[in-house]
Amino acid sequence: MKVNLAEIPWVECRSPKGRYHLFQKTISLSLGGKKDVGTWGGGQPFDAALVRIPAGAVDWPLHAHSAQWELYGVEEGKGWVQVGEQRIDLGPGDWFLAKPEEAHQIENPGPGDLLLLVIANNPEADVVSYPRSGKFFLKPERKIVAESPLSYYDGEE
């Protein structure tokens, strides 16, 4: 199967207050992939997308995947990525890897768009943690849950 990037529509993702804002061309989904489902569920072994972050926006809240690896390549624009406590400047031709359990977030201070190629593996399951809010996102269930203190045996007896 083949698809031309020009034929893939931009899909906008925007938080209610607009701090988190991006557009993406979901390459893998356009090639017949399934969202958050790898080969075990009839999907592909990786996800690929072209991501455009407008000036002044951040891609997603600071987050860390438990199992997923993400490879990023900067096509156009300048910005920075926060990886843990480290802030790394980004420009055209730069590539970086977000490893499992490594919190990361990308910001585009502007003035133009930041364009990235993103390739991620598709693990059988992944838990995305949000260190600032204490929330978790479960994949492939696509559910958000909040952390609450429980004992090991709560609800078991």
Predicted local distance difference test score (pLDDT) of residue 146 = 83
* 13/32 Cα distance (integer angstroms): 21
* 53/18 Cα distance (integer angstroms): 12
Look at 13-22, 93-102, 137-146 and tell me which has the smallest mean pLDDT: 137-146
Question: Pick from 147, 134, 138: which is nearest to 68 by CA?
Answer: 138
* 79/98 Cα distance (integer angstroms): 16
Model confidence at 59, pLDDT cuts 50, 70, 90, reads very high
Q: How much of the chain exceeds pLDDT 70, in percent?
A: 94
Residue 96: beta bridge partners? 72
At the topology level, CATH places domain 5-123 in Jelly Rolls (2.60.120)
Residue whose entry in the numeric block shows the structure tokens 């990023």: 72
Q: Where are the alpha helices (DSSP H) in the chain?
A: 27-30
Omega before 16 within 30 of 0, i.e. cis: no
Residue spans per domain, the chain: 5-123
Query: Mind listing the pLDDT tens digit for each residue in 81-105?
Result: 999 889 999 999 999 999 999 999 9
Question: Pick from 130, 139, 134: which is nearest to 20 by CA?
Answer: 130
